[in-house]
């Protein structure tokens, strides 16, 4: 098969001006991949800087509450900066150091990947520019605050729908003039080759650990593994630990928004989503787009899932039937988040709560000797403004009003 | 491979020191204004016009064309209207060579072969698709050539001579030489580096060289004489129409 393709999906649809940059990146990536000491350095860095290996927590109370399969939770929330995003940025940071580049740029939606990239840049002594849709800058002030405090420049993007995809376009526009000293740290398993493959490689650390951990704790493979899917990096991360185990069912959970039939969602893989094959942002996948190929606005309560495309690798695994897709609505997400907090004292991010929704639906239908893993890709407590807003919490609102008054 | 367009441009170069190609975003500010602008361009002897079919994610374009594309889409432009309008223009101005510029998703969604066939049928002579490198565009290249359309390829300052030769061998019509890095519409300082770059481009191909991105005045065009075959005026006319209306285009083109 052609390089960078997964079935009919993927590729590298890049302007000619970036051809040489991608050739260099491919060389650096392939050399790193062939060098066992690179991976070792990466694992050591993540152990020393980001709490790896993250635990696989047996959710005893939630298991009892639902009365079916044993539920294990992979704790990517315990990474530094609070999500699996750290795995990818630290890996790419090591690669940037090898390539000798001095500056990194990144796109960010809600700001998680932006904060992770700014953190990596600070740690590696790189200068850093983050592109973020104007609308997201307004909605996610706390993350903008952290990026700036970490030394990054945050550029609000005022074009298009002023969200994640527009930030990605703008980062590309920076890169076509700055590529000599700049690396573009794409945050997910999307974009032109080698990004999907490379980001999936860095995130595979999740699945490698989970495979070992479930064997140690449960004595055998799990029956099902659940992960939320925006671009798809946390899902690819954990799925890779089980792709070669035919008995393990893999379930990707997309953003159902207000409901698939309302059209206000960000699901690309589930039946009825309306997504069709297309080529944008440098790769071929299923996009939410018009019949003529113009990208549509998407909706999700979780900014990290609010994206028009999906990983070409997951598009292929879905098409082949290796990964089953489901979707969770905004309302279901809030309920699952509440249940996780009350039964286990865990605070999954809104994105990760999508995976909880589907697991909570299915666990009671399974036998007690079966086991499932939920990938908790990030923690929610750092998103207090977003989550408190979603809960429409009266005392929180009162606090914000009082604080605002004090700042007047 | 020599196409009709390549031969036509070479013939014109026998009587002119340098050719001119202009650019418009279809539907911005409206097809009616596009029509007037094209009339003035044609009256002032423009050789080629690239008509850009708007796409929602134009990653190779800078702020001016990006905004124009968005406005046009907001006003509801469709690919079908672009074809109909293009057909009208090609019929009206037989001396002008028309090309579509767009992103690959527009071609892909229409159906690659259907898009190219229709482009040929309405009297256009080629297409410019900046996010479709030859590695991804093998069927696009083959179908274009079978139809006698020019699939225009790009040289950039970052292209090695080996890469230039490889790319040129797959293109037809002319080669679009990007004069500098970055996106459309940024200012270019023309200096010795440009001469160097264009000399490299010239060595890599016999196809006519069109130089674009950032050319905005007579001095820029004059500098290219003898080094390139066609000057590309992109965002300059869009800005001009925004600031002074379509009637300013004629004198501007005449002044180049």
Length of chain A: 408
- Catalytic residue (choose from B6, B47, B61, B220): B61
In the structure, what pLDDT confidence band is assigned to residue B214 with cuts at 50, 70 and 90?
A: confident
If one counts every other C-beta atom within 10 angstroms of the C-beta of residue B158, the result is 18
Name every residue in B having a CB less than 8 A away from some CB of A.
Answer: 55-60, 62-63, 66-67, 70, 73, 78-79, 103-106, 108-110, 130-133, 135-136, 153-160, 163, 167, 178, 180-183, 186
**Across the interface, do B59 and A12 touch by the CB < 8 Å criterion?**
no
| CA-angle at A192, arms to A208 and B70, nearest 5° | 130
Locate the DSSP E strands across A78-223: 103-108, 127-133, 153-157, 182-184
Q: Above 70 in pLDDT, residue B219?
A: yes
Provide the mean pLDDT of chain A.
Answer: 96
Q: Above 90 in pLDDT, residue B215?
A: no
The pLDDT, as a whole number, for residue A1 is 66
pLDDT tens digits, B48-91: 999 999 999 999 888 899 999 999 999 999 999 999 999 999 99
- Cβ-Cβ contacts under 8 Å, B104 against chain A: 13, 279
The pLDDT, as a whole number, for residue B192 is 60
Which residue ranges make up each domain of chain B? 4-254
**Across the interface, do A12 and B133 touch by the CB < 8 Å criterion?**
yes
- Cβ-Cβ contacts under 8 Å, B131 against chain A: 13-15, 279, 282
Active site residue A70: no
Active site residue A290: no
Calculate what percentage of chain B has a pLDDT beyond 90. 82
**Across the interface, do A12 and B167 touch by the CB < 8 Å criterion?**
no
DSSP for B54-71 reads P-S--TT--HHHHHHHHH
**Collapsing DSSP states into helix, strand and coil, what is residue A187?**
coil
- Measured in angstroms, the CA of B179 and the nearest CA of chain A are apart by 11
Domains defined for chain A, CATH in brackets: 5-47+84-195 (3.40.50.1100), 53-82+205-390 (3.40.50.1100)
**Across the interface, do A17 and B154 touch by the CB < 8 Å criterion?**
yes
Distances (CA, A) of A18 to A163, B157, B169, B182: 24, 10, 19, 10
Q: Above 90 in pLDDT, residue A399?
A: yes
Q: Above 80 in pLDDT, residue B188?
A: no
Q: Above 80 in pLDDT, residue B181?
A: no
The pLDDT, as a whole number, for residue B171 is 97
- Measured in angstroms, the CA of A176 and the nearest CA of chain B are apart by 5
Segment B212-230 shows an average pLDDT of 87
Active site residue A107: yes
**Collapsing DSSP states into helix, strand and coil, what is residue B16?**
coil
Cβ atoms of A151 and A121 closer than 8 Å: yes
In this complex, the residue of A173, A289, A295 whose CB is nearest that of residue B183 is: A173
pLDDT tens digits, A345-393: 999 999 999 999 999 999 999 999 999 999 999 999 988 998 999 999 9
Residue owning tokens 């007579």:
B218
- Measured in angstroms, the CA of A29 and the nearest CA of chain B are apart by 20
- Measured in angstroms, the CA of A9 and the nearest CA of chain B are apart by 12
pLDDT tens digits, B13-40: 999 999 999 999 999 999 999 999 999 9
Residue owning tokens 């650096």:
A28
Q: What token pair was written down for A350?
A: 């809104």
CATH fold of B4-254, please?
Answer: TIM Barrel (3.20.20)
Q: What are phi and psi of A280, to 5 degrees?
A: -155, 160
Distance CA A339, CA B240 (A): 60
Distance CA A160, CA A107 (A): 14
Please give the ipTM for the structure prediction.
0.95
Is A190 in CB contact (< 8 Å) with chain B? no
Q: Above 80 in pLDDT, residue A182?
A: yes
Euclidean distance between the first and final Cα of chain B, in Å? 31
- Cβ-Cβ contacts under 8 Å, A177 against chain B: 180-183, 186
Distance CA A401, CA A177 (A): 44
Segment B200-211 shows an average pLDDT of 97
What DSSP element (H or E) covers B236? helix B235-244
The pLDDT, as a whole number, for residue B213 is 66
Segment B203-219 shows an average pLDDT of 89
């Amino acid at each position: 098969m052609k390089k960078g393709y997964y079935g009919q999906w993927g590729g590298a649809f890049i302007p000619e001006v970036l051809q040489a940059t991608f050739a260099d990146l491919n060389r650096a990536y392939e050399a790193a991949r062939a060098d066992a000491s690179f991976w070792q350095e990466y694992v050591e860095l993540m152990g020393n800087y980001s709490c790896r290996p993250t635990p696989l927590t047996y959710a005893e109370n939630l298991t009892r509450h639902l009365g079916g399969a044993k539920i294990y939770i992979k704790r990517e929330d315990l990474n530094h900066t609070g999500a699996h995003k750290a795995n990818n940025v630290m890996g790419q940071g090591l690669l940037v150091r090898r390539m000798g580049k001095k500056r990194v740029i990144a796109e960010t939606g809600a700001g998680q990947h932006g904060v992770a990239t700014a953190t990596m840049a600070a740690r590696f002594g790189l200068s850093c520019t983050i592109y973020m849709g104007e609308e997201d800058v307004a909605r996610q002030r706390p993350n903008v605050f952290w990026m700036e405090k970490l030394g990054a420049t945050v550029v609000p993007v005022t074009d298009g729908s002023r969200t994640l995809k527009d930030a990605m376009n703008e980062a590309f526009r920076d890169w076509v003039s700055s590529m000599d000293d700049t690396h573009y740290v794409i945050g997910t398993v999307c974009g032109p080759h080698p990004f999907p493959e490379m980001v999936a490689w860095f995130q595979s650390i999740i699945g490698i650990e989970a495979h070992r951990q479930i064997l140690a704790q449960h004595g055998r493979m799990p029956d099902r593994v659940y992960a939320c899917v925006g671009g798809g990096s946390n899902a690819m991360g954990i799925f890779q630990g089980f792709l070669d185990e035919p008995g393990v069912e893999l379930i990707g959970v997309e953003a159902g928004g207000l409901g698939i039939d309302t059209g206000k969602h960000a699901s690309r893989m589930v039946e009825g989503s309306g997504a069709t094959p297309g080529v944008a942002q440098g790769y071929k996948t299923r996009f939410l787009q018009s019949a003529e190929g113009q990208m549509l606005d998407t909706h999700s309560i979780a900014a990290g899932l609010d994206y028009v495309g999906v990983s070409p690798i997951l598009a292929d695994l879905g098409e082949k039937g290796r990964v089953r897709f489901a979707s969770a609505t905004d309302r279901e997400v809030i309920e699952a988040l509440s249940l996780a907090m009350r039964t286990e004292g865990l605070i999954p991010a809104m994105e990760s709560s999508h995976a909880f929704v589907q697991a909570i639906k299915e666990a009671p239908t399974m036998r007690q000797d079966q086991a499932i893993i939920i990938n908790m890709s990030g923690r929610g407590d750092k998103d207090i403004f977003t989550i408190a807003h979603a809960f429409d919490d009266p005392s929180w609102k009162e606090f914000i009003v009082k604080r605002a008054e004090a700042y007047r | 491979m020599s196409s009709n367009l390549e031969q036509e441009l070479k013939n014109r170069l026998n009587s002119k020191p340098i050719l001119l190609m202009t650019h418009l975003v279809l539907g911005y500010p409206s097809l009616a204004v596009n029509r007037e602008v094209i009339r003035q361009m044609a009256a002032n002897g423009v050789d080629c016009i690239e008509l850009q079919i708007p796409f929602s994610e134009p990653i190779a374009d800078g702020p001016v064309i990006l905004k124009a594309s968005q406005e046009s889409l907001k006003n509801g432009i469709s690919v079908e209207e672009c074809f109909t309008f293009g057909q009208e223009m090609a019929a009206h101005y037989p001396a002008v060579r028309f090309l579509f510029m767009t992103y690959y998703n527009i071609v892909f969604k229409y159906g690659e072969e259907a898009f190219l066939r229709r482009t040929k049928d309405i009297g256009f002579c080629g297409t410019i698709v900046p996010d479709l490198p030859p590695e991804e565009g093998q069927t696009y290249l083959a179908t274009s050539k079978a139809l006698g359309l020019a699939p225009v390829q790009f040289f950039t300052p970052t292209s090695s001579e080996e890469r230039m030769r490889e790319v040129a061998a797959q293109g037809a019509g002319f080669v679009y030489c990007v004069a500098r890095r970055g996106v459309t519409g940024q200012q270019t300082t023309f200096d010795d580096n440009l001469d160097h770059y264009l000399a490299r481009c010239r060595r890599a191909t016999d196809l006519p060289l069109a130089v674009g991105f950032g050319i905005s005045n007579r001095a820029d065009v004059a500098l290219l004489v003898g080094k390139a075959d066609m000057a590309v005026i992109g965002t300059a006319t869009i800005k001009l129409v925004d600031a002074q209306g379509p009637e300013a285009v004629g004198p501007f083109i005449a002044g180049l």
